Structure 1
Amino acid sequence: MKSSLKLEISDQVAVLTLNNPQQLNAITLEMREELLKVLSDCEKSPEVRVIVLKGEGANFCSGSSINGMGNRTALETFDHMKKMIEVIKRIRNMEKIVISMVDGYAFGAGFSLAIAADMVYTSPEAKFGLAFNKIGLMPDCGLSYFLPRLVGPHKAKEWILHASIISAEEAKEYRIVNDIFPKEELYSVVMERAKSIAAGPFYANIMTKSIIDRSDRMNMEEVLEAERYAQTILQQTEDHREGINAFRNKVTPVFMGK
């Protein structure tokens, strides 16, 4: 039986590919289970420092599979959504850096999956869809949290209530995505950036991510204190000493994550 998820690891970068191209990489129950397990394994693995999420073929993810929609009981729906919520929380709360690589459709839960990551890069063909309103539903899987924080509540409500499809250019304009690259270059550019981060000072990276992710829940004084404690720890690391020595000798540092 074909796996719904592909995993490749090289140079401390794990590439997770949603593998359901016949349904535009719609998220099945099996895929949710695999995603949760593989993300957990990557979080624990010393061989992985950065995770790249992508879709097989010409699309990122068309959202949750519609199989069973409209026929579930309330309790079945409640339980059905639990695994996807756990996947989103795992991506968002992970110490390691997660990058979404979006080509083609990122609709519904696929939109949530993409913007739960730390960075989002797309091709010009990327499209972010909010079709919930058309089937009598509201956004889920964190979209009601992520989208207003990225684009503001007014624009988020406008897009959601109009069941909008957002182009790559508009997504970049509203800071949903970091950058857009030609389709034929997207994978190589994203991998280059992922490997560059993976080769960096691991603990500095995860502490930077942690403070930035918590900064909207802290005041300035709390952020300053968090920075002070983190910097005190980082100045005792071998990576810091390596960086200082490399700077003094005008050579490229080799960070070991220690």
Structure 2
Amino acid sequence: MESIVLFERQQNIAIITLNNPEKLNAVSVAMRDALYEHILAVQADPTIDGVILKGNGKGFCAGADLKEFGTVPSVIEKRKIRIQHDIWEEFRRCPKPIAAILHGFAVGSGIEMAMICDFRFAAPKTKISLPECALGMLPAAGGTQSLPRLMRHGWAMDFAMKGYYLSAQEAKARQIVTDIFEEEQLFEEVYRFMQRITMYPKVAQQIKRLVTSGLDRSLEQGLAFEQTLVKENYMQHVLANG
């Protein structure tokens, strides 16, 4: 039986593929567990400089597997896995840039997963929604915190509470989507983008660290941290070149 999450690499880029197309790649316990293992492997491998996350079939991810979610043993199991395997925190913690490729539907946990990534590229017909509030639920994968870090506060509140669908074009205008490419060229364009930004992998990782940590620092603290890394890079360059 083929794995529910596929892992491969092209040169220095890891490619993680959600692989449950019959359920539109709905997030299950098994998928979370597999994603956790793969993201840890990415972090530990010094020859991997970036990650592309995508989905097989007709959509990126249709959200949580509600059939599984509704069973009592599953609820207990999910809680245990979240304690032991905090997959979303590992995505956030990953020092290497991650780009999500969206097509078809990116809904609920699917768009939340993508919003944890550093970049989101979409096919023109992609539909994006965060429907949990309309279902009497809270977004469970950090959506309430990711949204206001990507879009304006008012848009974030409106989108999270009403549960409507955004087109790829609307999502780009609201800064959820980085860019839009035709579906036939989507992977090649994103792969080319990742190759470009990881040309100097250490610099890319340091920029990610600075930008991400800056969200939780004052401007003064952020600038001081930036200068610390600049000085470290300069000293390493001097030592390497005599």
TM over 0.5: yes
Distance 2:181 2:238 in 1: 32
Q: More deviation in 66-75 or 119-128?
A: 66-75
Asked if 1:209 corresponds to 2:208, the answer is yes
Contact 2:33 2:85 in 1 (8 A): no
Tell me what 1:165 maps to. Answer: 165
Asked if 1:3 corresponds to 2:3, the answer is yes
Tell me what 2:42 maps to. Answer: 42
Distance 2:66 2:174 in 1: 29
Contact 1:119 1:178 in 2 (8 A): yes
TM-superposed deviation, 1:120: 0.8
TM-superposed deviation, 1:83: 6.5
TM-superposed deviation, 1:228: 0.9
Tell me the SS of whatever aligns to 1:131: coil
- Cα pair distance change 1:166/1:18, threshold 3 Å: same
- Cα pair distance change 1:122/1:204, threshold 3 Å: same
Per-residue deviation, residues 40-59 of structure 1 (Å, max 9, x unmatched): 00111122110000000221
Contact 1:6 1:17 in 2 (8 A): yes
Tell me what 1:155 maps to. Answer: 155
Tell me the SS of whatever aligns to 2:72: coil
| Structure 1 unaligned regions, length at least 5 | 243-258
TM-superposed deviation, 1:68: 3.2
Distance 1:23 1:84 in 2: 25
TM-superposed deviation, 1:133: 2.6
Per-residue deviation, residues 104-145 of structure 1 (Å, max 9, x unmatched): 111100011111001111110111112213321122200010
Per-residue deviation, residues 180-232 of structure 1 (Å, max 9, x unmatched): 0111111110011112223x222211111111001121122111111111011
TM-superposed deviation, 1:7: 1.0
Distance 2:24 2:11 in 1: 29
Distance 2:56 2:75 in 1: 32
Letter in 2 for 1:91: F
Asked if 1:226 corresponds to 2:225, the answer is yes
| Structure 2 unaligned regions, length at least 5 | none
- Cα pair distance change 1:201/1:111, threshold 3 Å: same
Tell me what 1:55 maps to. Answer: 55
Look at both structures and tell me which one has the larger radius of gyration over its CA atoms.
1
Per-residue deviation, residues 80-122 of structure 1 (Å, max 9, x unmatched): 6716971111111111111111111111000111110011111
TM-superposed deviation, 1:236: 3.2
- Cα pair distance change 1:234/1:110, threshold 3 Å: same
- Cα pair distance change 1:133/1:223, threshold 3 Å: closer
Asked if 1:120 corresponds to 2:120, the answer is yes
Tell me the SS of whatever aligns to 1:67: helix
TM-score scaled to structure 1, two decimals?
0.86
Q: More deviation in 126-135 or 1-10?
A: 126-135
- Aligned residue pairs total 241
CA RMSD of aligned residues (A): 2.3
Letter in 2 for 1:203: K
Show structure 1 runs of 4+ deviating over 3 A: 68-71, 236-242
Contact 1:107 1:131 in 2 (8 A): yes
